[in-house]
Homo-oligomer: A and B are copies of this chain.
């Protein structure tokens, strides 16, 4: 197929406009010529100009204001990466320094993975082309059950496991199955910000609950929103502060959920990565009243492009979850699920986790040590794949400056809702592969924020 003549031409125009915006020639709020006028000026069709404008509107560079015309977007600032792109990956092929939410991309055994998937690919039968179980493949669910039993002291049946395309999809499944418009949900404050719009979009009321050095303040939750229907939290290693939810709080939380018939959503996103001491078992392992929904993901323990996460739901809720899941088929391709099941069953997953714990302990130490040497202070944490350094002053402004220099640090204040407390910068060390690299990146950061 040939490209239409308009293809390259409109892209040429949109590139020129984008460059003009980036170089400050076209400033935010500036009105663009009407497409008819601009088309005459350039000697192209009006559709070509419309296509160029449309592309830039789609990318957020321009905005349309009805009859008034097309304008350079008010919010356009050249360079910086939006918060979303930090989580979901931008268009840059290479991760930026300190970029969060990514495991160590250099250490994943790609060749091993390719062998396991290649074997499945070659032995695929025609029946593997049809849709599988709406809740996920039996083989993968069984592998997850065994992993959870061995590694997280959770006893469950394969039927309780639901395979999804990621944590956001898991949250959607939970809220659509058990929630209704107006339900209240406790959220950790500070806590992972990028899941909030999804929850709000479902019509839920977000109830921020403070976090102290024992984790989520259950007492505050009981006072502020005792009638909440959900509590979403990261008990193993609070994101971002890194504290573990204390045992008394765990029992208090379970008592509340049992008494009020509320649901605890345990986000166990990084519990595999603890480098010293023995972690508390998950709240799910204490779940006698059957009120805990456990959410796990392979995005951190394997890689994000895998698009595979899972839920463990209480037995009495399995039928309701299955009904909701059957409104759409399981989004993870069958071959993908079978490959993952093999990868776990054959021990590659365990070996990889073991290796990563050593590497992450080392990489964390490189970053922490370098920060301390540069006079920064780091919040002590037992594990995890991110780090918080405390700063003086406006952390949002510091983070903005960092991002303008392509350092993907985040402001602790951007993870807060109502809570007040120390300022800080969040950063990841997972892709720092040497002490020299840590030193170079920290020097860049210091030059900008000191």
Contacts and interface: CB of A to CB of B under 8 A. Distances in A.
Name the interface size band of chain A. Answer: 35 or more
Interface in A341-389: none
Contacts of A58: 157, 159-160, 315, 318-319, 322
Contact of A130 (B54, B121, B303): B303
A328 interface: yes
A222 interface: no
A322 B200 CA distance: 17
Nearest to A57: B319
Contact of A110 (B126, B134, B169, B197): B126
Report which residue of A106, A165, A203 has the largest number of chain B beta carbons within 10 angstroms of its beta carbon: A165
A2 to B, nearest CB: 9
A155 interface: yes
Nearest to A299: B131
B95 A130 contact: yes
A55 B93 contact: no
A372 B203 CA distance: 54
B165 A331 contact: yes
Interface string A318-331: 11001010111111
A232 to B, nearest CB: 15
A165 to B, nearest CB: 3
A67 interface: no
A129 interface: yes
Contacts of A443: none
A141 to B, nearest CB: 12
A434 to B, nearest CB: 16
B89 A130 contact: yes
Contacts of A94: 127
Interface in A298-344: 303-307, 315-316, 318-319, 322, 324, 326-336
Contacts of A247: none
Contact of A128 (B159, B305, B315): B305
List the 4 closest pairs (A to B, CB-CB), nearest first.
Answer: A168-B328, A165-B331, A89-B131, A129-B303
